[in-house]
Amino acid sequence: MSEEILKIEHLYKRYDDIPVLEDISLTVKKGETVVIVGPSGCGKSTFLRCINGLEDIQDGHVYLEDALINPASGESVQNRQRIGMVFQSYDLFPHKTVLENVILAPMKVQKRKKEDATEEALALLDRVGLSARKDSYPRQLSGGQKQRVAIVRALMMHPEVLLFDEVTAALDPEMVREVLDVILDLARNNSTMLIVTHEMAFARAIADRVLFLDGGHIIEDTDPGQFFDSPGTDRAKKFLQTFEYESVR
């Protein structure tokens, strides 16, 4: 359980001249669930995108075990499929059915047989309660259903690390639960995950470790009980207070 899988060293990211992430270092162990929280614009989403090599970085390194992912090279494109990512806006392929969406990359990238990929896809779709919708097009699904398909699509590649970028932020409240339940299920199976979220109750329930990001720096890196009950910094305290309401009565 203590094997290191993801290693980020002194990562710097700027857009033009505006620094977004400054000197971020982080090590994630296999099976660990890391939740990243912080105010809007603190760089959480950018951080995930850098881990997956979707963003160029100005300095530092991202390693998946021994493979260098970012700064990108020809080899890192190969290794990138070992990291799965689910986006806020689901981004299913609108011209393909649910089943086609989830088997496309296994067939084309991993060159797996169609029957084999389909079999696994159906099992996974069943696990998230969507096997009956396999022939639907994305536009025929609700937001929550689309997001569950997007998770299955990422799982099909058997990623060693999963990144979730505010996956419930675009959903209606009653659909949030169905998506978070799927992620909780993954945590129970010891998947390695980095999760950016605004759902504090969920964060507390799922996290092995909480990172609090603000102004492009990791301000706190601690266990969830500690973070939510007695945050070490004023900035984290202030941030957590924005989720509370005072009674007006």
- Which positions lie near another protein, rule CB under 8 A? 49, 52-54, 77-78, 80-81, 83-85, 87, 89, 91, 93-95, 104-105, 108-110, 137-140, 150, 153-154, 157
Minimum CB separation from another protein for residue 162, in Å? Answer: 11
Minimum CB separation from another protein for residue 247, in Å? Answer: 31
Minimum CB separation from another protein for residue 108, in Å? Answer: 6
C-alpha distances (whole Å) from 245 to each of 232, 240, 249 are: 21, 11, 12
Residues 6+ apart with CB under 8 A from 184: 202, 205, 206
Q: Which is nearer to another protein, 87 or 228 (CB)?
A: 87
Minimum CB separation from another protein for residue 131, in Å? Answer: 21
Q: Which is nearer to another protein, 68 or 104 (CB)?
A: 104
Q: Which secondary-structure segment (H or E) carries 99?
A: helix 98-108
Minimum CB separation from another protein for residue 193, in Å? Answer: 14
User: By the 8 A CB rule, do 11 and 52 touch?
Assistant: no
User: By the 8 A CB rule, do 28 and 34 touch?
Assistant: yes
Identify the sign of the CA torsion 53, 182, 245, 211: negative
Burial 181-214 (b: 16+ CB within 10 A, else e): ebbeebbeeebbbbbbbebbebbeebbebbbbbb
Q: Which is nearer to another protein, 116 or 223 (CB)?
A: 116
Cα–Cα distance for residue pair 76/47, rounded to 1 Å: 17
Q: Which is nearer to another protein, 194 or 218 (CB)?
A: 194
User: By the 8 A CB rule, do 228 and 240 touch?
Assistant: yes
Cα–Cα distance for residue pair 78/68, rounded to 1 Å: 11
Q: Which is nearer to another protein, 139 or 249 (CB)?
A: 139
Minimum CB separation from another protein for residue 41, in Å? Answer: 19
Q: Which is nearer to another protein, 146 or 210 (CB)?
A: 146
Minimum CB separation from another protein for residue 21, in Å? Answer: 18
Q: Which is nearer to another protein, 27 or 110 (CB)?
A: 110
Cα–Cα distance for residue pair 37/221, rounded to 1 Å: 10
